[in-house]
Amino acid sequence: MPTEPKKDSQKAPQGWRMDPIPSRPAYQDDDGNIRVPIWLTKNGRHMADTEMVLLPSEAALLAGNLTSAMGDNSRSVLHELFRESVTALAPGVVYVSKSEQYQP
């Protein structure tokens, strides 16, 4: 159900916007696609919860572009912390490979 935009001193951006849902991590589905749960808003009003579905190559391209936009240090910090078992998909959204995460 759509919600009313917040009424505060900061005006919401006009038009459509996609934001990652902080409580729902990105994941890989059974077909190998990367799925990123997102909120869709229009003119600051919540319209729907959905998922952005990306091929692995598209997710890698997006991760590279986001990493470049955040600066050179962000990629090295992520890789150092997680030993290259994660892929940054969006600000605050990372994909953690379960196969690498749970190896004995």
Residue 11 lies in a domain: no
Q: CA dihedral defined by 13, 93, 62, 60, rounded to 10 degrees?
A: -170
pLDDT tens digits, 43-88 = 889 999 999 999 998 888 888 887 777 775 555 555 555 555 556 6
Tally the domains of the chain: 1
Token output for 23:
């409580």
Residue 101 lies in a domain: no
Residue 2 lies in a domain: no
Residue 80 lies in a domain: yes
Residue 58 lies in a domain: yes
Residue 99 lies in a domain: no
pTM exceeding the 0.75 threshold for the entire prediction? no
Residue 42 lies in a domain: yes
Q: List CB contacts of 17: < 8 A, sequence separation 6 or more.
A: 40, 41, 42
Q: Which domain holds residue 35?
A: 16-94
Residue 55 lies in a domain: yes
